[in-house]
Amino acid sequence: MKTILFPARAARGAAAIAFSALLAACASGPKDNISLIPAQTAEQTSKDGLFTQPVKWERSKPGCKGECPKLELDSLVFPGVPRLTELIDHALATMTEVAGNTAPPYSTIAGYEEYFWKTAAPRDSTLLSARTRYRNRHITLVELNSWLYKTGAAHGMSATQFLNWDNDRQRVLGLNDVLAGGGRPAFESALRRVHEQWLRAHPDAQLDPEGFRRVWPFQPSENFGLTDGGVAVKYDSYQIAPYSSGQPELLIPYEQLRGVLRPEYLPG
C-alpha cells in the first residue's frame, strides 16, 4: 500500500510548497489597528463580503466509452475580483497530483484538464472544489480542496489549503502578515498545545500514546484560516494521523493568541 500512497503524498507536498510560494508573493503589510476578523460564518456575513458565483461541472474523457476518467469542479468565481478568481483557479490546479516533485506542466484548471485526459487511466478521478468558510467586509477565507483517485489505489487522496484574502488590499495574507513581531515560536507553541488536546481525544492515540506519537509526531503548519472562533489549522491525511483520521483541523482560540497575532487580527 505504501508504494501507492506515499509518492502521492510527496507530490502533494510539492504542490503545497508551490502554493505557499504563491501566497508569499501576494503577501501584504500591516493594517490599521482595528479588528478585521470575521465575527460570523460565511452564510451569516455574505451580504457584507465579496460577491461570489458558483462554477460547477462534471466531465468524462471526451470520446471515451465504458469506464472512463472523470473530472469534477465545484468552485467559485468572484466577478468583482478577477485577481482572486485567477488565484483560486491556479491554486486548485497546483493541488492536483503529478509524478515526483517537479512543477506540473500546467498552471490552470483548463491546463490540468487537457493534461488529465492525456494521462489518466480508466478509473482515475479528480474532484476540485472551493468554498468560502468565513467572510466579511475585510477578509474572505476560502477553503480549497482536491480529491484524487488513481486506478489501482486502495483509496483516494485528499488535500486542503486555506486562502485568507484581504479584501481591502487585494492580497493574500500569509502567516507572517498576521503574526506580531517575533510571534512565530509562540504561535507554534499554541498550536502544539491544541494538538496535545486533540491527541487526548483521539481514539487511536489513547490506545497507544507513545506509539502514536512516534509514528505521527507533531508538525507545525502554515495552512491557517482566520475564523470567527480562532485560527484554524488544517492537515492533510498522513501528516499527523493515519488515513482513517481524515484531515485533522485544529482550532487555536483567540484568547490563546493575544500578543501573538497583530491586534487587528484579534476580536475587538
Q: What are 171's strand-pairing partners?
A: 166
- List % helix, strand, coil for the chain (3-state, nearest 5): 35, 25, 40
Confidence band (pLDDT; 50, 70, 90) for 104? Answer: confident
Beta strands, E only, the chain: 53-60, 70-77, 125-135, 139-149, 157-166, 171-172, 224-226, 230-234, 249-253
Residues contacting residue 161 through CB under 8 Å, at least 6 positions apart: 16, 19, 91, 95, 143, 144, 223, 234
98 against 8, higher pLDDT: 98
What predicted TM-score, i.e. pTM, was given to this entire model? 0.82
Q: Cβ(35)–Cβ(268) under 8 Å?
A: yes
Cβ–Cβ under 8 Å, residues 157 and 148: yes
**Domains annotated on the chain, with CATH:** 2-174 (3.30.565.40), 184-265 (3.90.640.20)
CA 50 vs. chain centroid, Å, equals 20
Cβ contact 30:220 at 8 Å:
no
Cell of 47: 451580504
**What are the residues whose beta carbons fall under 8 Å from the beta carbon of 82, sequence distance 6 or more?**
none
Mean model confidence pLDDT for the chain = 86
In this predicted model, what pLDDT tens digit does every residue of 109-138 receive, in sequence order? Answer: 999 999 999 999 999 999 999 999 998 899
Does residue 108 contact residue 95 with C-beta atoms inside 8 Å?
Answer: no
DSSP for 159-183 reads EEEEEEEETTTTEEPPHHHHBPTT-
